[in-house]
Amino acid sequence: MAGYKETPRQKMIAMMYLVLTALLALNVSKEILDAFLVVNKSMESTNESLTAKIREKYAQFENQFDMNQNKVGPYWQKAQTVRTEAQSLIKYLDFLKYELVKISERKDSLEIMDLYYVDNVINGVQKKILNLRSVPTKDKYDATTFYMMRENKTGEAYTLSKKMQIYRDTVLNVMNLPANSDKIGLVTNMEGYSYQNADDQTQDWEQHNFYHTILAADITIINKIIAEVRSAEFNALNYLYASVSETDFKFDKVAAKVIPKSTYVFKGQKYEAEVLVAAYDSKTHISSKYIRGATVWNEANTGRATTVDGEEGKIILEFPTNVEGLQKYAGVIEMIDPKTDMMVQHEYYSSYYVAPPSLTVAPLKMNVFYLGVNNPVSISAAGLSKEQIKPVIDMGVLKQDGNDWIVRIDTKPKNVNLATISATAEIDGERLSLGTAEFRVKRVPDPSAEISGMTDGLIDKNVFLASSAIIPNMRDFEFDLYFVVTSYTFATILNGDWVQKNVKGNMFTEEVNDIIRNGKRKQKFFFEKIQAKGPDGTLRSLNPINLELK
């Protein structure tokens, strides 16, 4: 290749090409970024599924603990230790995701929650969830790398790996596994494991996962760690549950048990219950006698008892519910003891409550519905699930929002100040009216016009100038809503003359700022005819503001 002397222009072009090449190398393609978002979403779904399975297993475990605390207790206590440490580690990991977004976006805490977190219901629990796709700096890595790595291994990644190892040791100890076991994840810098970068240079676990990785990758990796935490918890729970042998759940008595479908029924429904004995022979015939209104079985009342035959060790009881209030009954199961061929009896007693249909509609913030805003309400009826209740409203819109409801009334009929919510429910194939509830309908109250939180009094000039706007403040009001100041009149006495300025919007104009900046001690400033537009579309005249320079 022939050599030649480059001109200054050629050298400059070559240098610019090198810089552009380097910038392109640092840029993350849209396809790769989208792939991270897809994987992260999949990890979040996996974590939700694991959480549901773990909750179900804990419920099974707790049921066995309630049946035999002496034998199940030691295993149940170990399960509680695993649960506590798993919840603590996952809480830390959720905070770490939040902190990484905060550092990358360079915004304060409230802005991060408002802009990038959304409300979501996970396994029946409402929770704030990070919407990674909405984070603008998800393809950046400088700030997050510094936070996670830092010099002398002081970065948060090293704290994370220590917490993972502590939790891993707990699970290994519970499951009686050696320290180098690969039956659970959460492996960081364990002996026998090594990590290399693209140039085959050896790295520790922290560098391998968090050095120069973009924010989207960091969040995905943390969600993967959460999945490992949940998986280890599930493995430990299954191990402890299996450690309790079937012989731990022996019955040393034969007793009659009443299992009602519900102990709270509406008038007009049937009360249903199963009565059974714990151990039975499918070939053995059983029957029951019961007396309604009794609290104990009494042989003297046998003559007025009702007899019911049973099948496969259980009796089905069905009572009409024509009378409201607490209802009681007592009875006895009769069966042949296979050992003695003698008739044996097992007594039982139970009760239930018959209630008239009722509807409860509770506003979650006030005892009224406000025009032009979302009014959250809780709608329920005793003994019914929310899926069974079908509510309607006679004005505005009523829509479901998670486990609760939202009432939105933008306009109301003239001279009508009450909104009525009514509801029905389908019970045993029949449509039942649950009742109605009435609420006053009012417009949103006026906000307080303020400058630096003040409506009058002495104010420091620098604080005055820094405020730079009139803010409508909804004091002692439960709803998150905002008014917009559309105009105001600014006035003061300047060199003995009354100076007045009409201003659009809520901000101080440059002319207003100059007058304040040149103001003297004890000089008064007046903000009057303040107009603000509310969320309901109405224009309000707000209070005047009178301030005096210190």
Q: What is the DSSP string of 224-249?
A: HHHHHHHHHHHHHHHHHHHHS-GGGG
Domain membership flag for residue 145: yes
Asked if residues 530 and 440 have their Cβ atoms less than 8 Å apart, the reply is: no
- Total Cβ atoms within 10 A of residue 482: 13
Give the mean model confidence (pLDDT) for residues 41-53: 85
In whole angstroms, how far apart are CA 308 and each of 256, 283, 332, 345? 15, 17, 10, 14
Q: Map residue 385 onto helix, strand or coil.
A: coil
Is residue 146 domain-shared with residue 226, that is, in the same domain?
A: yes
Banded pLDDT at 281 (limits 50, 70, 90) = low
Residue 233 has φ and ψ, to the nearest 5°, of -60, -45
Is the predicted pLDDT of residue 55 greater than 60, yes or no? yes
As a whole number, mean pLDDT of residues 331-339 equals: 72
φ and ψ of 188, to 5 deg? -115, -95
Most confidently predicted of 3-7, 114-118, 302-306? 114-118
For the beta sheet containing 270-277, the strands, ordered from the edge strand earlier in sequence to the opposite edge, are 256-260, 270-277, 314-320
With pLDDT > 90 as the criterion, what percentage of the chain qualifies? 24
Same domain, 168 and 200: yes
Residues 187, 121, single domain; the answer is yes
- Number of domains the chain contains: 4
Residues 272 and 237 in one domain: no
Show the domain range for 286: 256-355
Q: Is residue 16 part of a domain?
A: no
Q: How far apart are alpha carbons 14 and 16 in whole angstroms?
A: 5
pLDDT level of residue 255 (50, 70, 90 thresholds)? low
Q: Flag the least confident range among 3-7, 324-328, 382-386.
A: 3-7
**Among 302, 322, 355, where does a domain finish?**
355
User: Which of 333, 355, 377 is a domain's end point?
Assistant: 355
d(CA 276, CA 274): 6
Residue 9 has pLDDT above 60, yes or no: no
Same domain, 294 and 373: no
DSSP 522-547: T-EEEEEEEEEE-TTS-EEEPPPEEE
Helices (H), 106-182: 109-116, 142-148, 156-174
418 lies in a domain?
A: yes
Asked whether residue 38 falls in the same domain as residue 149, the answer is yes
pLDDT of residue 7: 52
488 within a domain of the structure (yes/no): yes
What is residue 25's predicted lDDT score, i.e. its pLDDT?
42
pLDDT tens-place string over residues 190-217: 776 777 777 778 888 888 888 888 888 8
Specify the residue for token string 């009224």: 368
pLDDT on residue 20: 42
**Is the pLDDT at 21 greater than 60, yes or no?**
no
Distances (CA, A) of 95 to 91, 99, 130, 311, 525: 6, 6, 11, 56, 47
CA dihedral 356, 361, 366, 371 (to 10 degrees): -140
Q: How confident is the model at residue 126, as a pLDDT?
A: 77
The mean pLDDT value for 304-308 works out to 84
What would the pLDDT profile of 386-397 be if each residue is shown by its tens digit?
788 889 999 999
Same domain? For 432 and 462 the reply is no
Q: Which of 208, 225, 246 is the last residue of a domain?
A: 246
d(CA 153, CA 207): 10
- Site of tokens 């819109």: 397
Same domain, 188 and 58: yes
pLDDT above 80 (res 338): no
142 and 38 co-located in one domain: yes
User: Rounded to an integer, what distance in angstroms lies between the CA atom of residue 498 and that of residue 80?
Assistant: 75
> Quick one: pLDDT band at residue 252, thresholds 50, 70, 90?
very low
Q: Is the pLDDT of residue 474 over 80?
A: yes
Q: Which residue has the higher pLDDT, 426 or 169?
A: 169
Which tops the pLDDT comparison, 324 or 23? 324
Average pLDDT, the chain: 81
Question: What value does the mean pLDDT take over residues 478-497?
Answer: 88
Amino acid at 496: G
Residues 132, 225 within the same domain: yes
Q: 184: how many CB neighbours lie within 10 A of its CB?
A: 20
For residue 13, is it within any domain?
no
156-174 helix and 215-243 helix, angle to the nearest 10 degrees: 10
Of these ranges, 185-199, 355-369, 473-487, the one predicted with the greatest mean pLDDT is 473-487
Query: Same domain, yes or no, for 32 and 172?
Result: yes
